[in-house]
Structure 1
Amino acid sequence: MRRWHRARRTLNYANLSTPLGLLVARLGRARLTAGPDGLLLAHGYRIPFPVAGAFTVGNVVLTRHGEGYLTGALLRHEDRHASQYAACAGLPMLPLYVAAVAVSVLVCGNPGSWNVFERLANLEDGNYPRTPPWWTRARVRRRR
């Protein structure tokens, strides 16, 4: 494991985001396994919120899907979210993320396309569409 991943793991434990992720995994009755780069993968999460295919809390990546789902581009996307928790000092990431979702919904009508956290984690890796802002779509419709 690289130095940054060890530091991120330590930061996310200290800032309480990983302990919160472990609690969420336990409440959702997910099965935990060790993942790459200090991540913990929680498969079989049973709570119907949030609706995403996968989500991250600290260094814990949770999904409703079985083992083998968290691979490739999606796992890299969630890995970037774990780094964002470290950069945001842990739990402040949660209200900041909710605010970013609200901005994205207001700008383009979906929670990911203009969400700064999703954009920095690479939208395509997280299976988010690149939706243009509503005001550019309105301009295109007027031209037709």
Structure 2
Amino acid sequence: MRRLHRVRRTVNYINLATPLGLLLARLGRARVATGPDGLVLAYGYRFRFPIASAFTVGNVVLTKHEEGFLTGALLRHEDRHASQYMLCVGLPMLPLYVVAVAVSMLICGDHASWNLFERLANLEDGNYARRSPWWFRTKSP
């Protein structure tokens, strides 16, 4: 594991983001497995919220899907979110993310396209589409 990942794992435990992610995994009756780069992968998450196919809290990546779902580009996307928790000093990321969702909804009517956190994690890796701001869209006659 690279030094950055060890630091991220430690910081996200101290800032309480990873413990919250582990609590959500437990409450959602997810099966927890050790993942790459200090991540914890939680499969079979049973709550309906959030609606994303995967989401990250601290170093914990949660998904309603079964083992093997979190691979490739999607796992890299979620890995970047884990780093964002470290940079946002943990739990403050949650309200900041909600603000970013609201801004994106105002700009383009989509929760991810103009969400700063999703853009920095690479929209396409997270299976999100890039949508134009509403003021740039052409109107159909």
Normalising by structure 1, we get a TM-score of: 0.96
The alignment status of 1:126 with 2:126, answered yes or no, reads yes
| Other-structure match for 1:64 | 64
Aligned Cα RMSD in Å?
0.8
Q: Number of paired residues?
A: 141
Aligned to 1:37: 37
> Within 1, Cα distance between the matches of 2:35 and 2:90?
20
Mapped partners of 2:25, 2:55: distance in 1: 11
Partner of 2:107: 107
SS of residue in 1 equivalent to 2:55: strand
What is residue 139 of structure 2 aligned with on the other side? Answer: 141
Task: Describe the superposition over 1:45-84 as per-residue Cα deviations: whole angstroms up to 9, x where unpaired.
Answer: 0000000000000000000000000000000000000000
Amino acid at match of 1:104: S
Name the CA distance, whole Å, in 1 between partners of 2:84 and 2:112: 15
Name the CA distance, whole Å, in 1 between partners of 2:139 and 2:49. 35
The runs of 5 or more residues in structure 2 that have no matched partner are none
Within the alignment, does 1:53 sit opposite 2:53 as a pair?
Answer: yes
| 1:8 paired to 2:2 | no
Which one-letter code corresponds to 1:35 in the other structure?
G
State the 1:124 CA deviation: 0.1
| In 2, Cα distance between equivalents of 1:101 and 1:25 | 23
TM-score by length of 2: 0.99
In structure 1, list runs of 5 or more residues that go unmatched.
none
Query: Alpha-carbon deviation of 1:141?
Result: 1.9
State the identity %.
74
Code of the residue aligned with 1:64 in structure 2: it is K
Query: Deviating runs (4+, > 3 A) in structure 1?
Result: none
Cα distance between partner residues in 2 of 1:46 and 1:135:
38
Residue in structure 2 matched with residue 25 of structure 1 by the alignment: 25
